[in-house]
Amino acid sequence: NAGVTQTPKFQVLKTGQSMTLQCAQDMNHNSMYWYRQDPGMGLRLIYYSASEGTTDKGEVPNGYNVSRLNKREFSLRLESAAPSQTSVYFCASRDNNSPLHFGNGTRLTVT
Amino acid sequence: GQQLNQSPQSMFIQEGEDVSMNCTSSSIFNTWLWYKQDPGEGPVLLIALYKAGELTSNGRLTAQFGTTRKDSFLNISASIPSDVGIYFCAGQLRGGATNKLIFGTGTLLAVQP
C-alpha cells in the first residue's frame, strides 16, 4: 500500500517551459489536493478536487492547471514556468472528515 | 490568504527537554490537526482533535484543542533526536468533501544529543 505517490521527485525547468506533476493515490479517497510549500509560508492550497470530475481553485491557483484524470490520479500542470513557481509541491488525498495523507513532494526549481 | 499564527518559529533544545508550541487563529475551527514533516518527506499526521477542550496523547506527544476553538497546543515530553523536523498545525472547518485545511507556518525543531 503506497499511499500517495508523486513523480518526479526533483525537476529543474527554464523560464517558459511547461511540465506536469503527477500524483496517484491507492486509498480510494474521493478528494485530492495540490499544495505548495515555501520557506516561512507553510502549505498553501493551489487546487483541489472534491471528487472525480470536479476541480476548484485554492488559495494560489494562478499559473497552474489541474486534471482529475480518474479517482486515483490528480495532475498539476505548469504551462509556462516562472521563477516564482520554484517551490516544493505536495499532493494529498482524503475522504470526507478524515485527515489529509501527503505524498513526499516534488522539488521544482525554475531558473 | 489566511494562515495560522504558529509559534515559536524554531526551537533548538537538548535531548531530554520538553517542548511546547502553539497555534492561534482569528477564526473558529471545528478540527485541529498536528503534522510533522521530516526532511525530504511530506507531512505526516500526529494528532487530530475534534472537540473544544479535548486533550489527546500519542506517546510522548500531547495536544489540546483550545476552549475558544481558536487555538491549539502541542507538547513533546523528553525529546529525542528523531523528534527533529518541522511541526505544522492545521485548522479545519467541517463541511463535507470541500472543506479545506488552513496551515500554520511551521515550527522547526532541532534536538541536540
Nearest CA distance, A34 vs chain B (angstrom): 11
Note whether A90 contacts B42, CB cutoff 8 Å.
yes
Beta strands, E only, A1-111: 4-7, 10-13, 19-25, 31-38, 42-49, 56-57, 65-68, 74-78, 87-94, 101-102, 106-110
Min mean pLDDT across A94-98, B28-32, B105-109 is at: A94-98
pLDDT at B101: 81
Confidence of residue B94 (pLDDT cuts 50, 70, 90): low
Model pLDDT for residues A1-54, shown as the tens digit of each residue:
579 999 999 999 999 999 999 999 999 999 999 999 998 778 999 999 999 999
User: How high is the pLDDT of residue B93?
Assistant: 75
The one-letter code for the residue type at B7 is: S
Instruction: Tell me the average pLDDT across B53-70.
Output: 95
Residues of A in contact with B90 (CB under 8 A): 100
Quick check: B98 and A41 CB within 8 A?
no
What is the average per-residue pLDDT within B2-21?
Answer: 92
Collapsing DSSP states into helix, strand and coil, what is residue B83? helix
pLDDT tens for each residue of B29-38:
989 999 999 9
Q: Tell me the pLDDT of chain B averaged across its residues.
A: 90
Whether the pLDDT of residue B108 is over 60: the answer is yes
Are residues B42 and A56, on separate chains, in Cβ contact within 8 Å?
no
CA distances from B11 to A52, B93, B100, B110 (A): 41, 29, 28, 6
Sheet containing A19-25: give its strands across: A4-7, A19-25, A74-78, A65-68
**Chain B residues lying within 8 Å of A102, measured CB to CB:** 35, 42-44
Question: A44 - beta bridge partners?
Answer: A36
Q: Do A51 and B97 touch (CB under 8 A)?
A: yes
* Stronger pLDDT, B59 or A41, i.e. the higher one: B59
